[in-house]
Amino acid sequence: MKVTVIQQDIVWKDVQRNIARIKKLIMAAERSDIYLLPEMCSTGFCMQPQGVAEEVEGPTVQAMKQLAVELDAAIAVPVMTHENGKYYNRMYFITPEGVAGQYDKHNLFEYSGEDKVFQPGEGKVIWHWRGIRIRPAICYDLRFPLFLYNKAEYDLLLIAANFPDSRLLAWDTLVRARAIENMCYVAASNRVGTDEYGTYKGHSVILNPYGMTLAKCRTSRQGSATASLDDEMVAKLRIMTKLNR
C-alpha cells in the first residue's frame, strides 16, 4: 500500500483554478493507492460559503472521480459542501468505482466561527480500501485524542488540514502523538501559501506507528510526499506492546 500527501497552495475561493492545480500536483506525484488533499482544497478555509460551497459531489468531486479511474487509486478530497440548506466541511473518499464514503468534520473550530456556519458530523467513520482500515479526520479533530482513540479499529489515520504557521509546533507534535498513541500510520496533509487568515508552511508528513517520519513535503512549497505502508507492522506492534485493544 502506497500513500501520498499533497501539499497545495490553495487559491482563495476559486474552485476551477484549484481543481486544475490539484490535478497537476497529483499527476506529478509518485503513483500511489491513496492520495490525500488538504482541508477545503477547492476554496481555502472560508467562512463565507455562499456562492462557493459545492453541491453534493460537485465539480471537485467529479474531477477527482475521473482522476481516480485514470490512476486506479483512491483520492481523499475535502471540500466545502452544501446539502439540504446546510453547509458541511466534508471529506469524500473517491475510488475508481466512485464515492466510497464521506466524513463531515466533527470538531468545528469555534475560534474562527466555523461552528456558526457549518454543521458538525455525527462522529467516527471507518473506510476500507485494499486491505487497509482508514479513519478520516479534518484539522481541529487532531486536537481531540479521545475522539480519535483507536480500539484496534483502523490502521491509517488521514488528516487534512489548514494549520497556520503560528501553530506549526502544535501540528508537528500532535500528528506524531496521534501515530504513537493509536499505533497506526498517519498521513497528514496541510496547505501552504497565504489567505485572509494568515500564512501556511505545510509540514505535510507520513508517519509510521512508532511516530517515525517516512516521508515529508518541503516547507512552504507545493508538492507531494509518498511512502509505502507495511500492512503487518500495526498488528505486530500491538501484539508486542500487548495493547491490541
Which positions are annotated as active-site residues?
A: 39, 105, 139
CA gyration radius, the chain: 16
User: Do the bridges between strand 74-83 and strand 86-95 make them parallel or antiparallel, or are there none, so unpaired?
Assistant: antiparallel
In three-state form (DSSP H/G/I as H, E/B as E, the rest C), the secondary structure along the chain is: CEEEEEECECCCCCHHHHHHHHHHHHHHCCCCCEEECCCCCCCCCCCCCCCCCEECCCHHHHHHHHHHHHHCCEEEEEEEEEECCEEEEEEEEEECCEEEEEEECCCCCHHHCHHHHECCCCCCCCEEECCEEEEEEEHHHHHCCCCCCCCCCCCEEEEEECCCHHHHHHHHHHHHHHHHHHCCEEEEEECEEEECCEEEECCCEEECCCCCEEEECCCCCCEEEEEECCCCHHHHHHHHCCCCC
Identity of the residue numbered 98: G
